[in-house]
Amino acid sequence: MKKWLRKALVVSFSILTLGLVAPPPALTMEQPNADKPSRNSIDEQNAESKLYSEFESNYGYDNRSFVTYAMTQAETKSFEKFGRKIGPVIEDEFRTQILPKIESVIELLAEQSPTEQLDHLEISEQPSGGNGEKIFHIFDKTSGKDIVRFHVRKDHPPQDGYWFNFHYHTHHDGFQAHHALGDIYWDKNTPPKWLS
């Protein structure tokens, strides 16, 4: 019996019996030469490896799974950017007003992209700190080019306090136009720097 299968059976047995009954000795005993692979086990491993690589190359995101992945990253990157000082203050408004609009943009991107291209789209790793606008970008990992950029800017209209302006840019116009997602009011006082 393969080592990984034995381990899986031991764990399953322990879970099913809530750890009150010890697994049978046949499952816990080491087999002689278990570490020394036989010719058959090498052939089986090669076949499994080939099958896995074929699965990997044929597997990809569908629209819904890409949106789920992107939204998980969007929320994580957003709160990472807000930091501990801004995040708790704007969290509720961000979740109810801005995040659904980000999801709509991502859903539109997924619908407009061929399914095979979704496998090549990734979320940038680090939001910008200080006064930088970048929350996250969606880019094509094969070309390295950005597709959509999600940003937040600190606005300070005269005698109106500070606002966070959420918007995005697309590659269609060379990232020139600001597409509004919404604004969240901060306070009359200057907000802290991002990531703080």
pLDDT at 64: 87
* Nearest CA-CA partner of 7 in 17, 18, 23: 23
- 148 touches 137 (CB < 8 A): yes
Burial (CB < 10 A; 0-12, 13-18, 19+), residue 150, is: buried
Res. 34: pLDDT tops 90: no
Hey, what are 145's tokens?
């080019």
Query: Is pLDDT of 69 > 80?
Result: yes
What is the pLDDT averaged over residues 66-93? 95
End-to-end CA distance of the chain: 54
What is residue 16's predicted lDDT score, i.e. its pLDDT?
62
Mean predicted lDDT score pLDDT of the chain: 81
pLDDT band at residue 10 under the 50/70/90 scheme: low
Query: b or e along 61-74 (b: 16 or more beta carbons within 10 Å of the residue's beta carbon)?
Result: beeeebbebbbebb
pLDDT above 90: percentage of residues in the chain: 61
In order of 23, 63, 64, the CA distances from 69 in angstroms are 39, 10, 9
Helix (H, G, I), strand (E, B) or coil at 133: coil
Query: Which DSSP string corresponds to 5-57?
Result: HHHHHHHHHHHHTTTSSPPPHHHHSPPTTSSS--HHHHHHHHHHHHHHHHHHH
pLDDT band at residue 56 using 50, 70 and 90 as cut-offs:
very low
pLDDT band at 21 (very low <50, low <70, confident <90, very high): low
Categorize the per-residue pLDDT at 111 as very low, low, confident or very high, splitting at 50, 70 and 90: very high
pLDDT at residue 39 tops 90: no
pLDDT for residue 116: 86
What span, in angstroms and rounded, lies between the C-alpha atoms of 116 and 60?
7
pLDDT value at 49 more than 60: no
pTM of the model: 0.69
- Sheet containing strand 162-170, edge to edge, reads 121-123, 134-140, 146-155, 162-170, 179-187
- pLDDT over 60 at 29, yes or no: no
Q: Please, are residues 113 and 131 in contact by the beta-carbon 8 Å criterion? A: no
Q: Could you tell me the two tokens for 67?
A: 């949106």
Looking at the chain, the whole-number percentage of residues with pLDDT higher than 70 is 69
Q: Which of 77, 83, 84 is nearest to 99 (CA)?
A: 77
pLDDT surpasses 70 at 72: yes
